[in-house]
Amino acid sequence: MKGRYFTSESVTEGHPDKVADRISDAVLDSVLEDDPQGRVACETFVSTGLVLIGGEITTETYVDIPTVARNTILDVGYNDNTYGFNGEDCAVLTSIDEQSPDIYQGVSEAQEIREAQGEKNHYDELGAGDQGIVYGYACKETKSYMPLPITLAHRLTKKLAKARKTGQVPHLRPDGKSQVTIEYEEKEPIRADTVILAAQHDPELDEGALAQKLIEKVIRPVIGRWLDGDTDIFVNSSGKFVKGGPPADAGMTGRKIIVDTYGGYGSHGGGAYSGKDPTKVDRSGSYMARYVAKNIVASGVSEECEVQIAYTIGKANPLAVTIDTFGTSAVGDDRIVEAAKDVFDMRPAAIIDKFQLRRPLYAPLSAYGHFGREDLGLPWEKTDKKDELREKLL
């Protein structure tokens, strides 16, 4: 053990938990497409031949939820009965109710509006959809300001999925996982210590030949210079991976929250994102926390930053904002908090407006992470506030 080691994992969109996440987000997108004010809290469970979708949806539009679910499953790649799960003929059950009127009241008319005297602020109209704490994180390890282990783990699973879809590696099936361990020295990443890839495949495939092909076509192109002669590489370390997806392991919305965020770096408030409309601060507040953290690091104020925001249901303004730069800033964290409060409006309505969150953009986020996604042009990944922060703090 020469240094410090950190490990993160990722999964493909064919992993059962990610199938569930994608269905929930596809339902959300379908509501927002015609009804931007719709309220959605949609949960999905998938197992052998079964999809169960439940939750609370309040909307003025109609969504054919079973069709949305089937199309999502087919798009992921479960389109063959030999996989044990097929979007064409799996059972789809729904149990949907409207949002609780008590919650609806608190969200639609925040405490600040109820108690306001005289002129009222538009951004005070929307209360947080629940109590909770959310976290955002950023560091300088990669150009996307994400930790290296989760960045490489996501790249592996995306590359694996692409190899399946394009036929670059034939006979692959939708389920798959990756895991990357990076060795650090003096807080700097120096090498990949261990790389793991699990790829579901057809039963007749030779495991040895598949492993070699995945090493050459997926692992080496992704891990690149981080590999060395001492890196341990494991491909389908159980020997084979034929049975996968929902028939092998039941999937549920919200069970991959660490994969969705920073791979275990920093903290997590515990709330999942998928299937939730942006009035839920689990989702919108986390996006804002990432935006704040990334701009702080991009400004040069610190090398690393974690932001915590605390909310309570029915109140627009956060209860507290806490920032930890882990000793990497010459500026006190308390000063950074005050500057962040001046620069960033963390009320739910302001976040929704800033990031234009009442639109169908969520299904692509259901796999490969919600942060550091340079392929999607996400508004919370911009660093447009870095100059203002620098002027206030440096």
pLDDT digits (tens, 9 = 90+) for 324-344: 999 999 999 999 999 999 999
User: What confidence score (pLDDT) does residue 336 get?
Assistant: 98
% of the chain residues with pLDDT over 90: 86
Q: What value does the mean pLDDT take over residues 174-200? A: 97
Dihedral (CA of 75, 80, 85, 90) sign: positive
Q: What value does the mean pLDDT take over residues 270-280? A: 96
Which amino acid, 345?
D
**Lowest mean pLDDT across 94-103, 268-277, 357-366:** 94-103
337-368 pLDDT per residue, tens? 999 999 999 999 999 999 999 999 999 999 99
Distance CA 48, CA 171 (A): 21
116-157 pLDDT per residue, tens? 655 666 676 777 877 889 999 999 999 999 999 999 999 999
User: What confidence score (pLDDT) does residue 266 get?
Assistant: 86
Distance CA 32, CA 71 (A): 17
% of the chain residues with pLDDT over 70: 93
User: What confidence score (pLDDT) does residue 110 get?
Assistant: 55
User: What confidence score (pLDDT) does residue 98 get?
Assistant: 87
Q: What value does the mean pLDDT take over residues 249-257? A: 97
Distances (CA, A) of 62 to 22, 32, 43, 68, 264: 19, 11, 18, 12, 38
Q: What value does the mean pLDDT take over residues 310-314? A: 91
User: What confidence score (pLDDT) does residue 190 get?
Assistant: 97
At residue 42, does pLDDT exceed 90?
yes
At residue 1, does pLDDT exceed 50?
no
Which amino acid, 245?
G
> Phi, psi at residue 324, to the nearest 5°?
-125, 120
- 152 or 315: which leads in pLDDT: 152
At residue 96, does pLDDT exceed 70?
yes
Torsion of CA 163, 190, 365, 101, to 10 degrees: 150
* Residue 235 CA neighbour count, 13 Å, CB half: 21
User: What confidence score (pLDDT) does residue 161 get?
Assistant: 98
Q: What value does the mean pLDDT take over residues 312-324? A: 93
Which residues are within 8 A (CB) of 306 and not within 5 positions of it... i.e. 6 or more apart? 135, 136, 137, 266, 267, 293, 323, 324, 325, 326
How high is the mean pLDDT of the chain?
93
Instruction: Extract the tokens encoding 368.
Output: 């490969």
User: What confidence score (pLDDT) does residue 119 get?
Assistant: 60
- Residues carrying an active site annotation: 15, 17-18, 43, 56, 177, 241, 249-250, 255-256, 276, 280, 282
Q: What value does the mean pLDDT take over residues 205-231? A: 96
The answer to whether residues 194 and 179 touch, using CB atoms and an 8 Å cutoff, is yes
Distance CA 12, CA 218 (A): 13
User: Residue 77's pLDDT band (boundaries 50, 70, 90)?
Assistant: very high
Q: What value does the mean pLDDT take over residues 268-281? A: 96
At residue 196, does pLDDT exceed 60?
yes
User: What confidence score (pLDDT) does residue 112 get?
Assistant: 60
Which residues are within 8 A (CB) of 48 and not within 5 positions of it... i.e. 6 or more apart? 84, 85, 246, 247
User: Residue 115's pLDDT band (boundaries 50, 70, 90)?
Assistant: low
